Amino acid sequence: MELDLMIKNGILLDPAGGSEKRLNLGVVKDAIAYIGEETPAAKRLIDAQGLMVSPGFVDTHMHDEELEDPGTIQQALLRQGVTTALAGNCGSGPSLERVREMRKSPWLNLGYLTGHRALREEVGISDVYRAAAENEIARMEDRLKRELSNGSFGLSFGLEYAPNTSPREIEALCRVLADYPNRFVSIHIRHDGPECLESVEEAIGLAERFRIRVQVSHLGSMTAFGFTERSIRLIEEARARGADVTFDCYPYAAFCTSIGSTVFDPGFEKRWGKGLESLEAASGKYRGKRLTPEIYEDMRQNDPKALIIAHVMNEWEIRACLRHPLCAVASDGVLHNGEGHPRAAGAFPRALRWLREEGLSWPEAVRHATALPAEMCWLPAGRMEVGAPADLVLFSPDDLRDCATFEDQLAPPEGIAAVLVNGQIAVEGGVLSAEPCGRLLSRKP
Ligand SMILES: [Zn+2]
């Protein structure tokens, strides 16, 4: 057997087995073909002395819906070691027809969820405050069927952004999804802050009634106002009853969304116990500025898609959420015209650092970023074994750290030596390959 590539002398992290061992790893085409102490012949050799070798990171919750953008967010995630990602979250997933046209060769392995709000727009509902009528619901069901048959990974809701969505509308779509194997529903729940517990229960209820998998999105940012522990307990209790509920979290005490969204409708100060001074413009002409009543009015009126970073959550709760054994790291990376929250460029190294600070071993820490999220979406990634996809990240355990900040949002992390996607070297020493190495993923029945 001649290998295409041999990675020598690295410490292989096995998230499933919990082991870290110095072994050689060989790749043939796009799969791991050898793990052992010998050195079979290979066309190319990488010396990973001093480096950890992990399965590539799996990001089940990110945003790549500005399809005119050539792939800024994909590149930012790839530089962090993300090799597989799912876009279209929070209700925003575009139609696959358009995705296939615009995302022919992604930088990483990229799948899409179908967005509930996108479905609404396709049937002509532009008013996010309005409930859908029966005939509109029927048309949304048809479109969802088409998307699921066409390879969508599932359905995403952003209920906070369409606050009067009726149970009838949600249930009709969940009933459609329940007929398709290995699809899930991701839910950005209806309320953050004090009403989040009812909203978590709403998500759990859907998993139970329709026997579908429900992923509660960025649980930290919805609940880290004194409610994270109770929210997780609700999920644990539901799982003990047999409900298929999962969740994810990003490692920042500040969330990010557009100023024109319902999240910033009057009354938000009360939900978070914090005012305009906690809000920072992340894109557009006020980028970097804290909001004043005048800036708030101007942005809401004239630049509603501009992103805001809201420094409003409790970090200790976000940390508690992230270290929970059921919690997947997910970036929720989102950019508007290439600008946004540093999580797009730093979430994974930052989460691993936090998890190490919480006392986890390296295999335990990377499990939250690899095997766990991959299982949550029935993806073959995230495994360190022969036959697994050759999606790998080589990093220096001492140097790994995120560098993206609220000022320098897309600064790449330090300590990532190389990233392999489908057996190809996609990043080496911080430099991207000339051509993208990823594939557009579809879920076939
Ligand atoms: Zn969201």
pLDDT, tens digit, 9 for 90 and up, residues 264-290? 999 999 999 999 999 999 999 999 999
Is the pLDDT assigned to residue 1 strictly greater than 80? no
Q: How far is the CA of 160 from the centre of ligand 1 (A)?
A: 8
Q: What values do phi and psi take at 306, rounded to 5?
A: -60, 145
Condensed to tens digits (0 to 9), the pLDDT of residues 29-40 reads: 999 999 999 999
CATH number assigned to the domain comprising residue 422: 2.30.40.10
Q: How far is the CA of 182 from the centre of ligand 1 (A)?
A: 22
Shared domain check, 329 and 205: yes
Q: How far is the CA of 127 from the centre of ligand 1 (A)?
A: 19
Long-range contacts for 411-415 (Cβ within 8 Å, ≥24 apart)? 411/342, 411/345, 411/346, 412/76, 412/79, 412/80, 412/345, 413/79, 413/80, 413/345, 413/346, 413/348, 413/349, 414/349, 415/349
Is the pLDDT assigned to residue 351 strictly greater than 90? yes
Q: How far is the CA of 19 from the centre of ligand 1 (A)?
A: 34
| Structural domains in the chain (count) | 3
pLDDT band, very low/low/confident/very high, at 444 (cuts 50, 70, 90) = confident
Question: What order of strands is seen across the sheet that includes strand 5-8?
Answer: 31-36, 24-28, 5-8, 45-47
What DSSP designation does 42 have?
Answer: B
Task: Give the pLDDT confidence score for residue 445 in this predicted structure.
Answer: 72
Q: At what angle do helices 315-323 and 228-240 cross, to 10 degrees?
A: 20
Distance CA 319, CA 364 (A): 15
Is the pLDDT assigned to residue 176 strictly greater than 80? yes
Shared domain check, 163 and 137: yes
Domain extent, residue 268, equals 259-311
Shared domain check, 192 and 176: yes
Shared domain check, 360 and 289: no
CATH number assigned to the domain comprising residue 227: 3.20.20.140
Q: What is the average per-residue pLDDT within 393-415? A: 97
Shared domain check, 202 and 138: yes
Shared domain check, 409 and 270: no
Q: How far is the CA of 333 from the centre of ligand 1 (A)?
A: 10
Instruction: Answer whether 30's CB lies under 8 Å from 62's CB.
Output: no
Residue 438 lies inside a defined structural domain of this protein: no
Task: Give the pLDDT confidence score for residue 93 in this predicted structure.
Answer: 94
Shared domain check, 75 and 203: yes
Distance CA 333, CA 250 (A): 9
Query: How much is the mean pLDDT over the chain?
Result: 97
Residue 372 lies inside a defined structural domain of this protein: yes
Question: Does pTM surpass 0.95?
Answer: yes
Q: How far is the CA of 93 from the centre of ligand 1 (A)?
A: 12
Return the exposure string of 50-79: e unless at least 16 CB atoms fall within 10 Å of the residue's CB, then b: ebbbbbbbbbbbbbbbbeeeebbbbbbbbb
Residue 17 lies inside a defined structural domain of this protein: yes
Residue with tokens 């960025």: 218
Condensed to tens digits (0 to 9), the pLDDT of residues 58-106 reads: 999 999 999 999 999 999 999 999 999 999 999 999 999 999 999 999 9
Residue 440 lies inside a defined structural domain of this protein: no
Q: How far is the CA of 423 from the centre of ligand 1 (A)?
A: 32
Instruction: Answer whether 52's CB lies under 8 Å from 20's CB.
Output: yes
Q: How far is the CA of 338 from the centre of ligand 1 (A)?
A: 18
Shared domain check, 294 and 326: no
Shared domain check, 300 and 232: no
Residue 444 lies inside a defined structural domain of this protein: no
Shared domain check, 21 and 108: no
Shared domain check, 213 and 200: yes
Residue 437 lies inside a defined structural domain of this protein: no
Q: How far is the CA of 91 from the centre of ligand 1 (A)?
A: 8
Q: How far is the CA of 218 from the centre of ligand 1 (A)?
A: 7
Q: What is the average per-residue pLDDT within 400-405? A: 97
Residue 443 lies inside a defined structural domain of this protein: no
Shared domain check, 361 and 287: no
The three state secondary structure string of 208-232 is HHHCCEEEECCHHHHHCCCCHHHHH
pLDDT > 70: percent of the chain:
100
Residue 442 lies inside a defined structural domain of this protein: no
Nearest to 56 by CA among 344, 371, 330, 387: 371
Alpha carbon of 257 to those of 6, 276, 335: distances in Å?
43, 14, 9
Q: Which of 287, 311, 335 is the endpoint of a domain?
A: 311
